[in-house]
Chains A and B, each alone.
Chain A
Amino acid sequence: MGMTITEKILAAHAGLNEVKPGELIKAKVDMALANDITAPLAIKAFKTAKGKQVFAKDKIALVLDHFTPNKDIPSAIQCQEVRKFAKEQGIVHFYDVGEVGIEHVLLPEKGLVLPGDLVIGADSHTCTYGALGAFSTGVGSTDLGAVMLTGEIWLKVPPSIKLVYKGKLPKWITGKDLILYTIGDLGVEGALCKAMEFCGEAIAELSMDGRFTMANMAIEAGAKNGIFAPDEKTEAYVKPRATRPYKIYQSDPDAKYLFVKEYDVAQLEPQVALPHSPDNVKGVSEIGEIKIDQVVIGSCTNGRLEDLRLAASILKGKKVAKGVRCIVIPGSQQVYLDALKEGLIEIFIEAGAAVSTPTCGPCLGGHMGVLGPGEKAISTTNRNFIGRMGHVESEVYLASPAVAAASAITGKIASPEEVL
């Protein structure tokens, strides 16, 4: 029987010829990831399990991205613990302030995750790497501690669902709009424990940055992983970065899917997820007038170069509306540098936006733009749960960098059409 790309990667890492949905396997991990919030607990689990040496110094990435540069004393202590462990263990891929980027932007950029890999991260958005044709999923700290010790993880093979995007991408429609639309359709539990396989002509048209955005939010539909079959774009992205061999998998034509959904995107308008759920999605023209206090452009969802280019193309020569705070956070040092060289940072600053060093910051209400009671933000991040960006009475609207930038100019949620 044919297998899906997800099943093939899992089978290969479990040393099996074939796996079926529902099967429990023990699989080898190519890269294990933790951040400044989840690593301390994983280190504790590792030590409780009498761990002495990690399974491979070069297959663990520890990324201090959430509350860094340290926002307070407890976060400074957490980072100290991780720093100490990284040094003791000789962790090769340890990223501290000055080199750090948001983990899910950083790892692909550094070539640390590659097509065909099995990646486990103590962070729910680890599913981002599916954009490269890798199997990647998030776990808790205990699991990650066990992976750091053994290099293995037990997994249940997920059934796959196939999402086919037809039609040409209209102007302003990005990966963010496609994934928001999809989550709006499936619901936050619509893909529970399943593999979301993205394909179709609109996906082929989509850039790698757009695919990262989509895979990133698979978890927002409850999925275990999101995945794209690698194509020329994937190869072009990976080739200059890879320092080890990788393998390209494709789904068999007779692979089995739990269900298949087709979306015609030709008429799609920019999408917005309203508070307080990523599946509360509407077209930007349907939401009426929503005044905003803050705009956030960044995160592991939309903090890549293409995202900044898109936002800058709208903000160029314009001003952020009076009374609106617009915060731009490049996802990594490389993105920052590229944006600087291209003149994007200048555009943001001239428009009246604040530009920050890479950090998760406001995405999880950590620092660098926490909301007060009653405040509303439009954000390119991935979650708009109650209190996600600050006070429990604040509101977060999720959208693409294009909608976020247009909204910064008008002071209310707007389509890019309205400002150009």
Chain B
Amino acid sequence: MIVEGKVWKFGDNIDTDIIIPARYLNTSDPQELAKHCMEGIRPDFAQLVREGDIIVAGRNFGCGSSREHAPIAIKAAGIKAVVAKSFARIFYRNAFNIGLPIVEAEKVVDASKEGDVLKIDLDRGEIVNLTQNQTFKIQPLPDFMKELIADGGLIPHLAKKGGY
């Protein structure tokens, strides 16, 4: 699985209220949520983001509440992967479970600038910053995780396969 897209760069401790403010949680419709994605920090994000883009952020991305709405909003906004220095634990689980690939890669975060183009190869365990012509190794995802993401998340994956 390969993701290639433009970088949106964010700092540390991007919490779930920044990703999707609680006042919009009266719906779980992904498209509605996507309209307010990152509104807490960059109000025009939802208009400017393009299908296939990548979020690159600092430490503790997704901290705060356990709301699954946060990765859902990001995914529905068109983001194909999030690369961060670290993720909050429940966000991490929720993201994979809804089929949004996320990668912990400190060096990539430090080296990438807003607008750079990244190519993430989850099979080979590699991220290439095409703008800066730099290649980074990442831990490759195990096969079952790749399948889970390809199927759109844990529940659709299980519905399809009857197991992992």
A49 B158 Cβ-Cβ under 8 A? yes
Contact A140 B68 (CB under 8 A): yes
Whether A50 touches B159, Cβ cut-off 8 Å, given contacts A24-B141, A142-B97, A152-B164, is: yes
| A150 at interface by CB-CB < 8 Å | yes
Instruction: Tell which of B139, B144, B162 touches A26, judged by Cβ atoms closer than 8 Å.
Output: B144
- A142 / chain B contacts, CB cutoff of 8 Å: 68, 94, 97, 154-155
Binary CB contact string for chain B from 81 to 99 against chain A (1 if under 8 A, 0 otherwise): 0000010111011101100
**Any A CB within 8 A of the CB of B16:** no
Choose among B90, B94, B159, B162 the residue that contacts A48 (Cβ–Cβ < 8 A).
B159
Per-residue B-contact encoding for A35-54, CB less than 8 Å = 1, 0 else: 00000000001001111000
Of B60, B93, B164, which contacts A192 at CB under 8 A?
B60
Cβ of A354 within 8 Å of any chain B Cβ, yes or no, is no
How many B residues, CB 8 Å from partner?
A: 27
- Do A150 and B159 form a contact, CB below 8 Å, given A142-B97, A193-B89, A222-B89? no
Q: How many contacts between A and B, using CB within 8 angstroms?
A: 67
Do B164 and A26 touch across chains, with their CB atoms under 8 A apart?
Answer: yes
CA distance A42 to B21 in the complex (A): 25
Inter-subunit contact B145/A189 (CB<8 Å): no
Asked if A149 is an interface residue, CB under 8 A from chain B, the answer is yes
Contacts of A22 in B (CB 8 A): 104, 139
A72 within 8 A of B: no
Give the bracket for the number of chain A residues in contact with chain B. 20 to 34
B89: which of A23, A24, A224 is its contact (CB, 8 Å)?
A224
**Which residues in A have their C-beta under 8 angstroms from that of B94?**
140, 142
**B93 contacts A139, CB within 8 Å?**
yes
Residues facing A in B127-164 (CB within 8 A) are 139, 141-142, 144-145, 148, 154-155, 158-159, 162-164
How does the 8 Å CB contact mask read for A322-358 relative to B, with 1 for contact and 0 for none? 0000000000000000000000000000000000000
Docked Cα-Cα span, A139 to B89, in Å, equals 10
Contacts A22-B139, A24-B142, A192-B60; is A146 near B90 (CB within 8 Å)?
no
Indicate if the CB atoms of B96 and A154 lie closer than 8 Å. yes
Task: Tell whether, in the assembled complex, residue A48 and residue B89 are in contact, meaning their CB atoms are under 8 Å apart.
Answer: no
How far in angstroms is the closest Cβ of chain A from B44? 30
A143 touches B (CB below 8 Å) = yes
CB distance from A310 to the nearest CB of B (A): 33
Is the pair B88, A192 in contact by a Cβ cutoff of 8 Å? yes
Closest residue on chain B to residue A51 by CB atoms:
B158
Q: Does B66 contact A (CB under 8 A)?
A: yes
Query: Is A145 close to B, CB under 8 A?
Result: yes
**Nearest-CB distance from A192 to chain B (Å)?**
7
Q: Is A391 an interface residue (CB 8 A)?
A: no
Interface mask (B116-128 → A, CB under 8 Å = 1, otherwise 0): 0000000000000
B32-68 vs A: 1/0 string, CB under 8 Å? Answer: 0000000000000000000000000000100100101
> For residue A139, which residues in chain B have a CB less than 8 angstroms away from its CB?
93
Using a CB-CB cutoff of 8 Å, which residues 155-169 of chain A contact chain B?
156
Most buried by A among B63, B66, B89: B89
B interface residues, Cβ below 8 angstroms from A? 60, 63, 66, 68, 86, 88-90, 92-94, 96-97, 104, 139, 141-142, 144-145, 148, 154-155, 158-159, 162-164
Interface of A with B (CB < 8 Å)?
A: 22-26, 45, 48-51, 139-140, 142-143, 145-146, 149-150, 152, 154, 156, 189, 192-193, 222, 224
Beyond A22-B139, A192-B86, A193-B92: 5 further Cβ-contacts under 8 Å? A24-B139, A50-B162, A146-B158, A152-B163, A193-B89
